[in-house]
A and B are shown apart, each in its own frame.
Chain A
Amino acid sequence: MTPANALRLNAIGLLAICFVLSFALADQLLYDDLPCPLCLLQRMGFFAAGFGIALNLVLRVRTAHYGIAILGAVCGAAVSLRQVALHVVPGTGSYGDAFLGYHFYTWAFIVFCLIIAGTGLMLLFERQFAGEPEVSDLVLMDKPTRRLAQTAFLLFGFLAVANGVSTVLECGAGMCADNPTSYQLLDKE
């Protein structure tokens, strides 16, 4: 796999993570489905995993960056597995809405597993690491690839800030409530 193809696949992967994060944020804003602490931790897991892919896009494609993605996804998967385990026994209820038959934390676990598998697969192709040393792969790419990579990176950064601001509004400076019902900082009382 050439560095150009690796960069394109990284950009598509990061856009897929952005889609998941945007979907969760849209559900929160449009349907007032406030994220619980474990839900927020899973979103952080997506940022921790996507961070490695983002580094591939603006710096160089490196094995260490794929390692970052795997470590982040493992942490996120641990959190989502914990939430699945909390509700896996019949009669223990659930949190939030279901989508296509699965709750968001189950989908999160599936996506984290896909990130780990996809990253492992990418590591099999060693030719992608043969780019110019100390030069970003991005500057050597054609314009559409560069645009795709920059769009994915900037969208990912925007979502990180948006989630940070939304969490401040929901939880203030402290810890979040286990079952949040309103934005702490927007309450009029």
Chain B
Amino acid sequence: MMSLPFFLFACGLGAAWSDWRNMAMGFWFAGLVTLLVLFRFHATEVLNIGL
């Protein structure tokens, strides 16, 4: 699951190399959303900072 964004970005780069811009942008967007979802799952602890 954690490796998914890397492969999505790699697929996007492959699409860009083949001149498929829209597909490349789609892979990038999917990778970015997956990154943010994974971040949401890993940012669970309350920060120990008193501001």
Q: Which of the candidate stretches A5-13, A99-107, A115-123, A163-171 sits at the interface with the other chain?
A: A163-171
CB pair A171 B32 closer than 8 Å: no
A14 to B47, CA, bound (A): 33
Tell me how far the C-beta of A75 lies from the nearest C-beta in chain B, rounded to whole angstroms. 6
Q: Could you list 18 examples of A-B contacts with CB < 8 Å?
A: A43-B6, A44-B6, A44-B31, A44-B38, A47-B6, A48-B9, A48-B32, A51-B28, A52-B28, A58-B19, A59-B19, A59-B24, A89-B49, A92-B48, A161-B7, A165-B3, A167-B2, A173-B1
**Which residue of the partner chain, among B2, B25, B47, contacts A85 with CB atoms under 8 Å?**
B47
**Which residue of the partner chain, among B2, B6, B21, B48, contacts A55 with CB atoms under 8 Å?**
B21
Residues of B whose CB lies within 8 Å of any CB of A are 1-3, 5-7, 9-10, 12-14, 16-17, 19, 21, 24-25, 28, 31-32, 35-36, 38-39, 41-43, 45, 47-49
CB pair B32 A41 closer than 8 Å: no
A136 to B7, CA, bound (A): 25
Tell me how far the C-beta of A172 lies from the nearest C-beta in chain B, rounded to whole angstroms. 9
